[in-house]
């Protein structure tokens, strides 16, 4: 079971794709007046900007690329620390290391997103940014974290990969930070298999982000050079094929999240009376997209029994999302032979010294060992989920799963 958008791939996606294939121009650049150029990437950037409510969007080829581009646009690099939750997808951490900055792992709270109190404790003279990850379809503590960032003159990056369509105080996630990122991989709200976006309001950041994703070029060239390039970039461009699919998916997102929330509400109503069972706290209940329902059992032992019986394990098991299971992070396994960024003199000469150990975030460990993810619209073994329903489930199927869950929990409580 993949993400909710993957279930809705149909005629609209096919039509958009065929339009591009038949025209034969798959690259984001061309002379704008060329008849065979459908400008799908540009259109997607404009439609995403409108949907999110932000001035600028750079479409890229993955959520990981989006994070790398965002950090580079902010100028984050050697000697800098970026605070990131110990419960997130590996890409949040990897993108910081590949920016040659040092990830500082912080605790989550029962919202399963950054705990503002721990973030405050982790700020040092080397901190340049906080990466707030809106995990499992729900916004984190945006106000708290943003205030902290402002107070300490830090950049705020919102990793919204898992929360396209989620809102906070009526606005989309991604508009609150200095820069935001999204993913359109197969497990995300809407999908083209892979894809991503970087979003921001600041024009200078936009020019930098665009340049990083396209060999240093200025935004929106017609496929030809336009003046001198201010910085080196790489290539993280999206293709017309990806954009064609995403334009069709974007039209489905509101109906999709409405259905997810309805299904999640039904599941939650069906289990909320079980005493001893509690739910993830939601900093913005109205703003969630409803892809997953996370419950807490009273202790790790009971959670393990329930998770094993349901076949989904506990969230602490997730190999891609829990720092304890990231052997490459724990071992600082970087690609170069000198251990950059951890051994970088810009870092060590400024007092920097970081080690990652199993159990270093006891609050996170305790929370995740008691947590079970019930899939509502996305199921991914790597996410620590696998039991639940899908966006296509009808009420009978939901009720049957509710019954199965109730019986299992009651047996072990």
Ligand X SMILES: Cc1ncc(COP(=O)(O)O)c(C=O)c1O
CB of 151 to ligand X, least distance (A): 25
Rounded to 5°, the CA angle 40-42-44 comes to: 65
Q: Which is nearer to ligand X, 161 or 205 (CB)?
A: 161
Which residue of 63, 86, 137, 233 would you call a contact of ligand X, by CB under 6 A? 63
Residue 92 interacts with ligand X (CB under 6 A)? yes
Q: Which is nearer to ligand X, 105 or 271 (CB)?
A: 105
Residue 364 interacts with ligand X (CB under 6 A)? no
> E strand or H helix at 117, and its extent?
helix 116-122
Range in contact with ligand X (rule: CB under 6 A) among 59-67, 214-222, 240-248, 388-396:
59-67
Q: Is the dihedral of CA 131, 362, 164, 9 positive or negative?
A: positive
CB of 341 to ligand X, least distance (A): 19
User: In Å, what is the CA distance from 227 to each residue of 42, 202, 224, 230?
Assistant: 20, 21, 10, 9
Q: Which is nearer to ligand X, 161 or 253 (CB)?
A: 161
The helix/strand/coil state of 81 is strand
Which residue of 6, 99, 167, 183 would you call a contact of ligand X, by CB under 6 A? 183
Q: Which is nearer to ligand X, 82 or 91 (CB)?
A: 91
Q: Which is nearer to ligand X, 63 or 386 (CB)?
A: 63
Q: Enumerate residues 6+ apart whose C-beta is below 8 A from 217.
A: 210, 211, 225, 226, 229, 233
Q: Which is nearer to ligand X, 181 or 393 (CB)?
A: 181
Q: Of all residues in this chain, which one has the CB nearest to ligand X in the complex? A: 63
CB of 15 to ligand X, least distance (A): 25
CB of 195 to ligand X, least distance (A): 7
Q: Which is nearer to ligand X, 196 or 384 (CB)?
A: 196
φ/ψ region of 151 (left if φ > 0, alpha if ψ in -120 to 50, else beta) reads alpha
Which residue of 155, 185, 318, 393 would you call a contact of ligand X, by CB under 6 A? 185
> E strand or H helix at 365, and its extent?
helix 362-369
Gyration radius of the chain over CA positions: 21
CB of 154 to ligand X, least distance (A): 19
Which residue of 6, 16, 62, 385 would you call a contact of ligand X, by CB under 6 A? 62
CB of 186 to ligand X, least distance (A): 9
Total residues at the site for ligand X (CB under 6 A)?
15
CB of 66 to ligand X, least distance (A): 7
The interface with ligand X within residues 140-169 (CB under 6 A) comprises: 159, 161-162
CB of 240 to ligand X, least distance (A): 18
CB of 181 to ligand X, least distance (A): 7
The helix/strand/coil state of 178 is coil
Q: Which is nearer to ligand X, 79 or 364 (CB)?
A: 364
State yes or no: cis peptide before 341, omega within 30 of 0.
yes
**What are the tokens at 143?**
């106000």
The one-character DSSP state at 286 is: G
Let me know: does 248 contact 4? Beta carbons within 8 Å.
Answer: no
Q: Which is nearer to ligand X, 89 or 168 (CB)?
A: 89
The one-character DSSP state at 108 is: B
User: In Å, what is the CA distance from 301 to each residue of 24, 220, 352, 366?
Assistant: 58, 55, 38, 11
Q: Which is nearer to ligand X, 72 or 344 (CB)?
A: 72
Q: Is the dihedral of CA 94, 234, 63, 382 positive or negative?
A: negative
The interface with ligand X within residues 72-91 (CB under 6 A) comprises: 88-89, 91
107-133 burial, b if ≥16 CB within 10 A, otherwise e?
bbbbbbbbbbebbeebbeebbbbbbbb
Which residue of 1, 97, 133, 374 would you call a contact of ligand X, by CB under 6 A? 133
CB of 37 to ligand X, least distance (A): 26
**What are the tokens at 305?**
């029994």
Residue 196 interacts with ligand X (CB under 6 A)? yes
Closest CA to 253 of 301, 290, 296, 303: 290
Residue with tokens 């869950």: 405
Q: Which residues bind ligand X (CB under 6 A)?
A: 62-64, 88-89, 91-92, 133, 159, 161-162, 183, 185, 194, 196
């Amino acid at each position: 079971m993949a993400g909710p958008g993957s279930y809705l791939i149909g005629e609209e996606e096919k039509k958009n794709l065929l339009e591009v294939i038949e025209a034969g121009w798959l690259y984001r650049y061309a002379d704008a007046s060329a008849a065979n150029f459908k400008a799908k990437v540009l259109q997607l950037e404009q439609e995403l900007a409108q949907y999110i409510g932000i001035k600028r969007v750079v479409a890229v080829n993955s959520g990981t690329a989006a994070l790398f581009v965002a950090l580079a646009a902010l100028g984050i690099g050697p000697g800098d620390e970026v605070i990131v939750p110990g419960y997130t997808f590996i890409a949040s951490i990897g993108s910081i290391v590949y920016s040659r900055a040092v990830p500082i792992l912080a605790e989550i709270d029962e919202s399963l997103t950054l705990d503002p109190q721990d973030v405050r404790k982790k700020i040092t003279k080397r901190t340049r940014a906080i990466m707030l990850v809106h995990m499992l379809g729900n916004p984190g503590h945006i106000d708290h974290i943003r205030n902290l960032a402002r107070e300490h003159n830090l950049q705020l990056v919102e990793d919204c990969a898992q929360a396209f369509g989620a809102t906070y105080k009526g606005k989309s996630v991604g508009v609150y930070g200095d820069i935001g990122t999204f993913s359109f991989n197969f497990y995300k709200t809407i999908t083209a298999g892979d894809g991503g976006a970087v979003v921001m309001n600041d024009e200078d950041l936009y020019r930098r982000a665009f340049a990083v994703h396209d060999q240093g070029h200025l935004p929106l060239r017609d496929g030809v050079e336009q003046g001198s390039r201010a910085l080196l970039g790489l290539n993280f461009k999206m293709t017309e094929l990806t954009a064609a699919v995403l334009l069709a998916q974007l039209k489905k997102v509101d109906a999709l999240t409405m259905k997810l929330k309805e299904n999640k509400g039904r599941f939650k109503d069906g289990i909320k009376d079980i005493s001893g069972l509690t739910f993830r706290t939601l900093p913005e209940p109205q703003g969630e997209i409803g892809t997953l329902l996370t419950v807490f059992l009273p202790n790790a032992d009971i959670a393990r029994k329930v998770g094993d019986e349901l076949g989904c394990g506990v969230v602490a098991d997730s190999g891609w999302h829990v720092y304890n299971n990231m052997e490459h992070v724990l071992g600082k396994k970087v690609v170069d032979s000198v251990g950059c960024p951890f051994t970088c003199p810009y870092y060590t000469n400024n007092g920097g010294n970081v080690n990652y150990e199993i159990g270093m975030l006891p609050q996170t460990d305790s929370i995740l060992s008691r947590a079970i993810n019930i899939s509502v619209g996305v199921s991914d073994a790597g996410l620590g989920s696998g039991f639940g329903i899908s966006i296509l489930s009808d009420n009978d199927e939901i009720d049957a799963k509710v019954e199965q869950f109730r019986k299992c929990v009651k047996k072990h409580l």
